[in-house]
Amino acid sequence: MQIHPIDFRYGTPEMKTVWSEENRFCCVVSAETALVSALASCGIIPEADANAVSSHAHEATLARAKEIEAEIGHDLMGMVKALSEVCGEAGRYVHFGATSSDILDTATGLQLKQALDILDAKLEGFLAVLLNRAEETKHLVCIARTHGQHALPMTYGLRFAVWAEEIARHRLRISEIRPRAAVGKLTGAVGTLASLGKDGLRVQAEMMRRLGLSDAGLTTQVIARDRYAEYIFLLANIASTLEKIAVVVRSLQRTEIGEVSEPFGKNQVGSSTMPHKRNPVKCEQVCGLARIIRGMVEPALLNNTLWDERDLTNSAAERITFPEASVLTDHCLKVMTAVISGLEIHEDAVKRNLDLLQGVNLAESVMLELTRRGMPRQDAHEIIRRASLQALDERRPLAEILSAVPAAAELLPAEEIAGFFTAESYLGLSVEQTESLIQRLRG
């Protein structure tokens, strides 16, 4: 019986696999096998026994481990015993010198490494889509909005480019967090390496080398959870970026704005009762899931506040926070990549909205020109402010209103003023900034 929507509705196979029971078991076996190999490499146990463990490790099964766990009530020891059973006499060295968290936290490090690789690849794909859309639309002039109100002209290309640069920062964050989060340990029951003594650091270094992980440095019985909290916060940060993009798409798809539309299948149904509906359901889904992902930040932070050298309050929470936050973030990345890739832009609506206020959205350009021609800036601001309000109230072009203001008309004659009310003349460096970012991020 399936209960959680991750089981049947959300997530990609690759990220679900990372956090599956089967992969967790494989990561534990990998950690135990690397430990035995490291012990042999450091001359602590016979090489033949290490080879035997490596040769037979694949025969250990999750099913057998769970059988043992049901009997003894300890998940890690269930896995240790299942691995030891298939290794014959060499099985006596499985888990030698380790405590449970040495293996479990190292297995988590392997899973985080896998998850970060998947997320980085998805971010790279999304970044490519955003850069493509930025290039396609770098000359498409539109109205920008602040506080939900018309502001100044910009381009769709710049909008996509701003999002692309944010996604690029998330890729940078992944590269920075990887050596802090994808780590393992072999420091023993309270972090003293007492079980292996003077050989402990050597064995740990060799074990982590074989696993492709960094060591966690000083620890208690467990790796400090600030590392994992940083990972969860990264996911929440990515989810918030995706939600921000989704909110803009939803806003621009409003009937009254109508500048863009989510991809919509030929046979897709928008409403069970209103056949005409074409709702931005994918973006709404991302916005909803982002709330869940961000909700994982607090438990991740609290998981670092353990008693003394450790307690077990983090364990149950991490069984939920790691898979849920990882799977849902990966899912949202996939959804938004498809949305932006297939986003329809309705250029007629873009043009209509750009011209909606008959020049009021270009008031800043006229104010600055009056200042350049000798009018005090604050005086120019007040004249343009009053004229803009009048233009909005009377539904007349701002240029027409200003022509009747003597102080403005004296400096900016009617035959010149029209040139300051074309959106294309007041784009600043929208196109240049977009092109520069595309070149920089495409390398």
- 151-190 pLDDT per residue, tens: 999 999 999 999 999 999 999 999 999 999 999 999 999 9
pLDDT score, position 272: 65
Distance between CA 271 and CA 258 in Å, rounded? 18
Q: What is the pLDDT of residue 409?
A: 84
Name the 3-class secondary structure at 185.
coil
Give the C-alpha separation, 170 to 141, whole Å: 28
- The catalytically annotated residue of 147, 214, 388, 436 is 147
pLDDT band per the 50, 70, 90 thresholds, residue 285: very high
Mean pLDDT, the chain, as a whole number? 94
For the ranges 22-31, 128-137, 182-191, 262-271, the lowest mean pLDDT is seen at 262-271
State if pTM tops 0.85. Answer: yes
State the pLDDT at residue 203.
97
Whether 276 has a pLDDT exceeding 90, the answer reads no
The C-alpha torsion from 231 through 244 and 327 to 288, rounded to 10°, is: 120
Closest CA to 407 of 379, 365, 443, 377: 379
Give residue 124's pLDDT band: very low, low, confident or very high (50, 70, 90): very high
**In the predicted structure, residue 269 carries a pLDDT above the cut 90:** no
Q: Is 272 a catalytic residue?
A: no
DSSP 139: T
pLDDT attached to residue 391? 86
Residue 271's pLDDT is what? 60
Residue 44's pLDDT is: 97
Burial 339-352 (b: 16+ CB within 10 A, else e): bbeebebbeebbbe
Q: Residue 224, SS3?
A: coil
Plot region of 362 (φ>0 → left; ψ -120 to 50 → alpha; else → beta): alpha
User: What average pLDDT does the segment 207-222 reach?
Assistant: 97
Q: What is the mean pLDDT of residues 418-423?
A: 83
- Residues 417-435, mean pLDDT to the nearest whole number: 90
CA distance 353 to 347: 10
219: which 2 tokens?
């620890």
Q: How far is CA 95 from the centre of its chain?
A: 36
The per-residue pLDDT for range 375-415, each reduced to its tens digit, is 899 998 999 899 889 988 989 988 888 888 888 888 888 88
Q: How confident is the model at residue 197 (pLDDT cuts 50, 70, 90)?
A: very high
Share of the chain above pLDDT 70, in %: 99
Catalytic: 271?
Answer: yes
Please count the residues of the chain: 443
The stretch 354-361 carries a mean pLDDT of: 89
Report whether pLDDT(267) > 90.
Answer: no
**Gap between the Cα atoms of 440 and 203, Å rounded:** 43
Residue 308: pLDDT band with limits 50, 70, 90: very high
- Rounded distance, CA 52 to CA 36, Å? 10
pLDDT at 161: 98
Nearest to 238 by CA among 307, 168, 288, 308: 168
Mean pLDDT across 126-145: 98
Which pLDDT band, with edges at 50, 70 and 90, does 334 fall under? very high
> Which position among 55, 175, 271, 436 bears the catalytic label?
271
